[in-house]
Amino acid sequence: MGAEKTKAFGTIAADAPLNEMNIQRREVTSKDIEIEILYCGVCHSDLHTARNDWGGTIYPVVPGHEIVGRVTKIGNEVTKLKVGDLAGVGCLVDSCRECNSCEHDLEQYCLNGFTGTYNGADKHLGIQTYGGYSEKVVVDEHFVLKVPANLDLSAVAPLLCAGITTWSPLRHWNVGKDSKVAVVGLGGLGHMAIKLAKGLGAEVTLFSRTPGKTKDAKELGADEVVISTDAEQMKSVQGKFDLIIDTVPYVHDINPYVSTLNISGTLVLVGYLGELDPMLNTVPMIMGRKTVAGSVIGGIAETQEMLDFCGKHNIVSEVEIINIQDINIAYERMLKSDVRYRFVIDMASLKK
Amino acid sequence: MGAEKTKAFGTIAADAPLNEMNIQRREVTSKDIEIEILYCGVCHSDLHTARNDWGGTIYPVVPGHEIVGRVTKIGNEVTKLKVGDLAGVGCLVDSCRECNSCEHDLEQYCLNGFTGTYNGADKHLGIQTYGGYSEKVVVDEHFVLKVPANLDLSAVAPLLCAGITTWSPLRHWNVGKDSKVAVVGLGGLGHMAIKLAKGLGAEVTLFSRTPGKTKDAKELGADEVVISTDAEQMKSVQGKFDLIIDTVPYVHDINPYVSTLNISGTLVLVGYLGELDPMLNTVPMIMGRKTVAGSVIGGIAETQEMLDFCGKHNIVSEVEIINIQDINIAYERMLKSDVRYRFVIDMASLKK
């Protein structure tokens, strides 16, 4: 595998399907780790970026930021991992390393803008970064994670985005044994939120619009499922939760959930970027010191903490393994929420 | 002063001016403290309740929940104060005392509903509670505050509502010497927020729509005044504040303020009850773990802490003393924000 020619799967336009292509990876520098990618999770962001749903996509784009693999080469100053070790890469491959956020292990909030694993501004090559739908990736060791050896590697991949995105708010808002946590939406993020909150010892409730996911939610660890369209059920959980993790990625009314927060409780949005429509009512917030917050992925140290926690507690994602050649079909199924709960690409298929 | 006939100032209808009337006060029970009211602050809530702006007013209504005075009688089990001591009463005169909130000194969030100092449900007499626009008040000692003797008593009165309403969020969100705090709106609450945040050692900025209040704000302790209608000035404080206390009591766009929050910062609404119009945009919240919260007054222990702090740091409200007979004029002036920064009634005028 030469540095100049790495096999990948990506697209050249918003309306073109993903297809095989060659991309450039940099030569390993003194601080870099080269990773042979074994599995890559499929995140909604992959699809949105490939199709330029948010604007700003630079083509060609190679998605993928739930990367696990094996170290194949390291720079001479690398201390974190050695050749042959398992390794993971999440949503970030670089940040400024000197702002207040970076100094506090909050690279995801880098004040100078972090470098995304794909469609970011590659400081080395001066082009866009390319993600994990590829044979290999070269990343500065600071942004490479150690992967616990005892877990099913394919099911670890989604921890690098879906896992850390829900772990970070659970930790920031101090969820523990006495906490009552609710999760809104049972998808890639929601199912990880249930598992991780349960792992931390919390009592966990899933809010779902339909009863169809009740059995699954309980198998994942939820203590209770509340059907959010059922007024009686919603009434029964008024004022209950210390933390609600809202993973719903489209506009929806959060007011009914705010009312289910305990005094001083927090509803944290991790999925929906946009305006709160219908309008947020401040009355229950003021009369109960309730807060509405946002959170994005997590820092590198926190991601390592999460992976170590998952190793210790045997927590992985629920996955459906696909070949890279089926990625366009997977995107269509993902749009219909037809996946329980995360597609993961077996990157061996790229060698075919 | 007999228990059955206490002179007061109140109104019998939403469209009637306040006038002199007699009200009933209960006999002092074993846990009660009777206070001769010397000064009573005038809060916007007084006006809104008198005029039934929020609905739910029971007439006759006697407003006033920023009460200071002197103890004239105590029940045989009272230990907190003795006859002749200075005493204060704020927005609460009772709560259930047994819910989780009450057990944690958060009587303002009593899960069974606290008893407001006026227009509340009086558990003793079975009628509505009557507030501080009166000669005296009888309150359970738990809800009576000790007042530092070194402060100007008339200027202490507004601490019981305007003071604690801003103190509580400053303390809950851990404001201290390294904090950067902003205050939106310079009225009764805003001017106390500046003084208290400054007292806690924070760097304090006032957001104001017009430059007219700059001199005042700086005299009150603000380090900086940012004119919120000036795009350049707003740009200069992007990402700056750890806590913003928004005291504006009417609907307004909070999105420009959210952008001035630091990573993990909080904007807390203490003045506006209603829907956030225009809609709150979650993008800066998610991309910077920013939160929007609400807060109402404070608990009794926290109110005592605030009064003690004010005694130690010589902090009082800026007040304009009026006679009770001028209350209707004062309400009209208050509606035009024509007061710097709180009217306080000299209750000696009620004896005239």
User: Do residue B286 and residue A276 have CB atoms under 8 angstroms apart?
Assistant: no
Nearest CA distance, A289 vs chain B (angstrom): 5
Of A109, A239, A273, nearest to B283 by CB-CB distance is A273
Q: What is the pLDDT of residues B162-211, one digit of tens each?
A: 999 999 999 999 999 999 999 999 999 999 999 999 999 999 999 999 89
Of A276, A286, A295, nearest to B294 by CB-CB distance is A286
Torsion of CA B257, B259, B265, B271, to 10 degrees: 20
DSSP code per residue over A53-104: TTS---SSB-----EEEEEEEE-TT--S--TT-EEEE-SEEE--SSSHHHHT
Please give the Cα distance from A142 to A128 (Å, whole number): 20
Residues of chain A positioned with their CB less than 8 A from the CB of B293: 285, 289-292
Domain architecture of chain A: domains with CATH: 3-161+298-351 (3.90.180.10), 162-294 (3.40.50.720)
- When computed from its CA atoms, the radius of gyration of chain A, rounded to whole angstroms, is 20
Nearest CA distance, B111 vs chain A (angstrom): 9
Please give the Cα distance from B168 to A207 (Å, whole number): 32
This model of the complex carries an ipTM of: 0.94
Residues of chain A positioned with their CB less than 8 A from the CB of B275: 278-282
What is the per-residue pLDDT for A4?
Answer: 60
Of B280, B286, B289, nearest to A280 by CB-CB distance is B280
Write the CB contacts of B91 (distance below 8 Å, at least 6 apart in sequence). B65, B108, B116, B117, B160, B161, B164, B297
| Nearest CA-CA partner of B150 in B92, B193, B86 | B86
Residue B1 has pLDDT above 70, yes or no: no
Return the amino acid letter for B73.
K
What is the per-residue pLDDT for A210?
Answer: 85
| Nearest CA-CA partner of A321 in A350, A345, A352, A351 | A345
User: Do residue B285 and residue A266 have CB atoms under 8 angstroms apart?
Assistant: no
**β-strand partners of B343:** B320
User: Do residue B294 and residue A279 have CB atoms under 8 angstroms apart?
Assistant: no
Residues of chain B positioned with their CB less than 8 A from the CB of A290: 293-294
User: Do residue A275 and residue B279 have CB atoms under 8 angstroms apart?
Assistant: yes
**Is the model's pTM score more than 0.90?**
yes
Q: Are β-strands A261-269 and A241-246 bridged in parallel, bridged antiparallel, or unpaired?
A: parallel
Please give the Cα distance from B306 to B162 (Å, whole number): 11
Question: What does the block give as tokens for B294?
Answer: 């609400």
Residues of chain B positioned with their CB less than 8 A from the CB of A266: 291
Q: What is the pLDDT of residues A134-168, one digit of tens each?
A: 999 999 999 999 999 999 999 999 999 999 999 99
User: Do residue B290 and residue A294 have CB atoms under 8 angstroms apart?
Assistant: yes
User: Do residue A293 and residue B294 have CB atoms under 8 angstroms apart?
Assistant: no
Q: Are β-strands B180-184 and B291-294 bridged in parallel, bridged antiparallel, or unpaired?
A: unpaired
Question: What does the block give as tokens for B345?
Answer: 């009634």
Of B101, B266, B274, nearest to A263 by CB-CB distance is B101
Nearest CA distance, B312 vs chain A (angstrom): 28
Nearest CA distance, B55 vs chain A (angstrom): 15
Spans of chain A, pLDDT less than 70:
1-4
Q: DSSP character for B17? A: P
What is the per-residue pLDDT for B210?
Answer: 85
Residue B184: Cβ-neighbour burial (10 angstroms; 0-12, 13-18, 19+): buried
Q: What is the pLDDT of residues B286-318, one digit of tens each?
A: 999 999 999 999 999 999 999 999 999 999 999
Please give the Cα distance from A131 to A120 (Å, whole number): 9
Contact (CB, 8 A) for A107 and A101: yes
DSSP code per residue over A145-204: EE--TTS-HHHHGGGGTHHHHHHHHHHHTT--TT-EEEEE--SHHHHHHHHHHHHTT-EE
Mean pLDDT (chain B) is 96
What is the per-residue pLDDT for A1?
Answer: 40
Nearest CA distance, A47 vs chain B (angstrom): 19
Q: How many percent of chain B have pLDDT more than 70?
A: 99
